[in-house]
């Protein structure tokens, strides 16, 4: 296998270039880190961010599922 193909096969399978896939994946990762921060805040202050993590995870799941469905 061509080593470059390791970086391009999956993005191509979802209709993206390497760079567009990188951008989308980074945005999702940053949003997930934000959800993690909300969980940490909630752990120490249970009256903060009571439904934030579950709401955001549900939103991220819907968005990621919709992106996947649009490429099938």
pLDDT in tens, 14-62: 899 999 999 999 999 999 999 999 999 999 999 999 999 999 999 999 9
pLDDT bin (cut points 50, 70, 90) of residue 67 is confident
Measured between alpha carbons, how far is 59 from 64 in angstroms, rounded to an integer?
A: 9
pLDDT bin (cut points 50, 70, 90) of residue 70 is confident
Using an 8 Å Cβ cutoff, are 64 and 28 in contact? Answer: yes
Structure tokens at 49: 């961010």
Q: How many structural domains is the chain composed of?
A: 1
Q: What letters, b where the CB count within 10 A reaches 16 and e where it falls short, cover 1-38?
A: eeeeeeeeeebeeeebeeeebeebeeeeeeeeeebeeb
**Could you list the residue range(s) of the whole structural domain that residue 42 is in?**
5-71
């Amino acid at each position: 296998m061509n080593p470059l193909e390791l970086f391009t096969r999956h993005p191509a399978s979802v209709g993206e270039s390497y760079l567009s896939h990188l951008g989308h994946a980074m945005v999702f990762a940053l949003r997930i880190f934000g959800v993690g921060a909300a969980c940490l805040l909630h752990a120490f202050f249970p009256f903060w961010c009571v439904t934030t993590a579950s709401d955001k995870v549900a939103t991220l799941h819907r968005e990621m599922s919709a992106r996947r469905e649009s490429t099938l």
